[in-house]
Amino acid sequence: MERTFVYLKPNTIQRQLIGEVISRFERKGLKIVALKMLKMTMEQAEKLYKEHKGKDFYEPLLKFVTSGPIVAMILEGPRAVEVVRHVIGKTDPLEANSGTIRGEFGVTIRKNIVHASDSPEHAKHEMSIFFDTSEIVDYKLLLEEQF
């Protein structure tokens, strides 16, 4: 089993798409093991996006992600990192397949609905920015037998 970090961006909360987006992950069979709403601090945003520092979209990206509440979560499942990235689609909603979350609900690359870790290593780091280990709940889903 693998865990990955996901958060719904401020425009997703403003558009009242929280349930719609989370249901896509549940329907895929991923297990939510941590979930909360919060306002991302500038310090958290800088840590999360440190590899983009210096790029032209960096400052506007930080301003946007700290502009309003987000919903952060940790999802668990077999190959969760890859599975989640498949479900959300490519970074630019214009390039994302229509059946994906970004393909269906996103318009611009900055407000691309959702973020997900791109590797298990990044997932560990990103989880630690937003969650204390005590906030992660270890439990079984009866449906896990399907895997």
The residues annotated as belonging to the active site are 115
Query: Pick from 31, 38, 120, 135: which is nearest to 81 by CA?
Result: 120
Check: CB of residue 100 under 8 Å from CB of residue 45. no
Q: Measured between alpha carbons, how far is 58 from 23 in angstroms, rounded to an integer?
A: 30
User: Residue 34 CB, nearest distance to ligand CMP (Å)?
Assistant: 18
- Least Cα distance to 28 among 93, 77, 94, 74 occurs for 77
Q: What is the DSSP letter of 134?
A: G
* Minimum separation from the CB atom of position 105 to ligand CMP (A): 13
61 is an interface residue for ligand CMP by CB under 6 A: yes
Contact map string, positions 94 to 113, toward ligand CMP, x by CB under 6 A: ---------------xx-x-
Among positions 41-60, residues that touch ligand CMP (CB under 6 A) are 57
Q: Provide, rounded to whole angstroms, the least separation between the CB of residue 58 and ligand CMP.
A: 8
Residue numbers at the binding site for ligand CMP (CB under 6 A): 57, 61, 91, 109-110, 112, 115
